[in-house]
Amino acid sequence: MEQVWPGLRLHSAAAAHHWFDLAVPSQGSQVRVLEHTVPSPVLSDGFTTLRRFTVEDAQAFAAIHHDPLNVTWTASDATMSRARAAEFITGSIAAGWDAGSDLRFAVVDTRLGTDGSAGDIVGTLSLHEIFSTSRGGSASVGIKMLPAGRGTGSAQRAIELLCGYAFGNLGLEILHWRTTSANAGSNSLAKRCGFVLAAEIPGYGHQDAQVADGMVFSQSLRQFQARDQSAAEAEKAAVEIAPVVPVLRNDAVVLRALTMADATQLVENCINEDSVRWTTVPLNYTMEHAEFFINTLTPQGWASGETLTFAVVEPATDGLLGTVDLQCKNPGAASIGINFGPHARGTGAAEESVRLLLDYAFNQLNLSYVHWHALAPNWGSRKLAWKLGFTFDGEIRGDYNDRGTPADRWVLSLAATDPQTPQHPWTGPGPVSR
């Protein structure tokens, strides 16, 4: 049985396969899907590809099972060998495809291809317990990702492709997502992909080989179609207001827009003890915090013009070093925000990035003043401001909200006409932490 909804068009290309133009709700764009003669579909949106596992993928399949998070939440076999993985691929996985009851895909990130390959495997995604009826049918979704695929958007893109295939090609009418209640990452991913909580069941999940409470999410064909329409409308609106984040660069660093590819390192930067001590990052920073910051807070800041946030990256690798921002709350002036990971401290990257930011503030935004605020006694922050020519204006007692406790604030300033070099000898100590 085959169902087609608006946005899905089938074109015969050859006896061995068909091409589909598939609208993906979360992206509001057309996806090119190549379906070989069953049972070997290949689904792709240009960034993420779903295909069948082959024996050559045995090492990657074993690595997925070795991952600690997959062991914790999915009861993966942490001792799986390459040989055992190969047996699994040619045995039960192949049997599932032959029977049409369990379709397990490799999730491939085409942007990570090495040695001329078509991409690196970053996870596995499956439709299992497929139950087909004359009116449609149902199936369950299962996913396991490697660290290289987390925080990159690959999981969400893969699930969108799988849902399109399940509804548009297999003709299913509803999909289920089963997870453990405490698995926040899985719960969040399900919601982002349009699944709705249907039930909470005591003892239905598992964690570290122990019984735990579980949750069931679901998504119907109609809900998927509705998201398709909503995404198209949202994309149209976004095109009208989407801000353009400039790219600033010198030989040492590049300042650009944050993306989900930065999320993993952003989390590492924000859980560092110095970041927790001296900045206002949320405590116990998680991937959900990073996603909200990257996809919601930062675009809102650029759209309103009140907070202009840049990712600071290494030019050769595009690896995230930290973030800097201009907080433009008053006309003609802005305050600088800065947070770097420990791997970037002491390299000069912070100084170089702020110099780029100051040039942008004074010569592109035509600001008259830039201010620097620091929680006392953050001597490392104050010394960096001193290097850049900022003048120490004073200390305001109890003006800094240090996670609910009044603390002293240092205030420094730099005018557009001031030299950006130290204006007096350094009189403070070296950086301290506590």
- How does DSSP assign 186-204, residue by residue? HHHHHHHTT-EEEEEEEEE
Answer yes or no: is pLDDT of 370 > 90. yes
**What distance in Å separates the CA atoms of residue 180 and residue 186, rounded to the nearest whole number?**
8
Q: What percent of the chain has pLDDT over 70?
A: 85
Residues 33 and 163 in one domain: yes
| Higher per-residue confidence, 110 vs 386 | 386
Q: Whose CA is closest to 269, among 194, 314, 323? A: 323
Residues 378 and 266 in one domain: yes
Instruction: Provide the token pair at 27.
Output: 């992206």
Answer yes or no: is pLDDT of 130 > 90. yes
pLDDT level of residue 428 (50, 70, 90 thresholds): confident
What confidence tens digit (pLDDT) does each residue in 135-193 have? 789 999 999 999 988 888 899 999 999 999 999 888 999 999 999 999 999 999 999 99
Give me the pLDDT at residue 56, please: 94
Answer yes or no: is pLDDT of 68 > 90. yes
89 and 55 in contact (C-beta within 8 Å)? Answer: yes
Give, rounded to a whole angstrom, the gap between the first and last alpha carbons of the chain: 66
Return the H-helix or E-strand segment holding 87. Answer: helix 82-88
Residues 168 and 312 in one domain: no
Residues 200 and 104 in one domain: yes
pLDDT level of residue 307 (50, 70, 90 thresholds): very high
pLDDT level of residue 84 (50, 70, 90 thresholds): very high
Give me the pLDDT at residue 113, please: 59
Give me the pLDDT at residue 96, please: 93
Give me the pLDDT at residue 433, please: 46
**What distance in Å separates the CA atoms of residue 322 and residue 309, rounded to the nearest whole number?**
11
| CA atoms 219, 222, 223, 224: torsion sign | positive
Answer yes or no: is pLDDT of 16 > 80. no
In a domain, 159, yes or no: yes
Domain boundary among 203, 236, 269: 236
Residues 130 and 269 in one domain: no
Give me the pLDDT at residue 38, please: 43
In a domain, 431, yes or no: no
Residues 81 and 141 in one domain: yes
In a domain, 426, yes or no: no
Give me the pLDDT at residue 407, please: 92
In a domain, 427, yes or no: no
Instruction: Provide the token pair at 42.
Output: 């290949």
CATH code assigned at 218: 3.40.630.30
Show the CA angle centred on residue 281, arms to residues 271 and 344, nearest 5°. 55
Sequence-distant (6+) residues with CB within 8 A of 212 are: 180, 181, 182, 203, 205, 206
Residues 288 and 226 in one domain: no
Domain boundary among 208, 236, 264: 236
In a domain, 214, yes or no: yes
Give me the pLDDT at residue 18, please: 38
Residues 153 and 278 in one domain: no
Task: Name residue 414's amino acid.
Answer: L
Q: What is the mean pLDDT of the chain?
A: 85
**What distance in Å separates the CA atoms of residue 221 and residue 112, rounded to the nearest whole number?**
32
In total, how many domains does the chain have?
2
Range scoring the smallest mean pLDDT among 39-43, 78-82, 208-212, 409-413 = 39-43
- By residue range, what is the domain housing residue 139? 9-236
Domain boundary among 205, 236, 267: 236
Please name the residue ranges forming H helices in 255-348. Answer: 263-271, 273-278, 287-292, 298-304
Q: What percent of the chain has pLDDT over 90?
A: 68
Residues 231 and 305 in one domain: no
What confidence tens digit (pLDDT) does each residue in 263-301 have? 999 999 999 999 889 998 999 999 999 999 999 999 999
In a domain, 295, yes or no: yes
What confidence tens digit (pLDDT) does each residue in 312-340 have? 999 999 999 999 999 998 899 999 999 99
Q: What is the pTM of this model?
A: 0.49
Residues 252 and 232 in one domain: no
Give me the pLDDT at residue 231, please: 66
In a domain, 190, yes or no: yes
For range 191-211, the mean pLDDT: 92
Sequence-distant (6+) residues with CB within 8 A of 271 are: 284, 285
Q: Locate tokens 């009861």: which residue?
A: 75
Pairing of strands 307-313, 333-340: unpaired
Cα–chain-centroid distance for residue 271?
17
What confidence tens digit (pLDDT) does each residue in 85-121 have? 999 999 999 999 998 899 999 999 987 755 445 679 9
What confidence tens digit (pLDDT) does each residue in 20-40 have? 444 444 444 444 443 334 457
Residues 259 and 303 in one domain: yes
Residues 220 and 296 in one domain: no
- Quote helix, strand, coil % in the chain, to nearest 5: 35, 35, 30
What confidence tens digit (pLDDT) does each residue in 213-251 have? 999 999 999 999 887 776 666 666 555 556 789 999 999
323 and 289 in contact (C-beta within 8 Å)? Answer: no
Residues recorded for the chain: 434
- Strand 9-14: give its sheet, edge to edge: 9-14, 17-24, 29-36, 41-44, 48-52, 102-109, 120-133, 136-145, 174-180, 210-220, 196-207
In a domain, 23, yes or no: yes
Answer yes or no: is pLDDT of 2 > 50. no
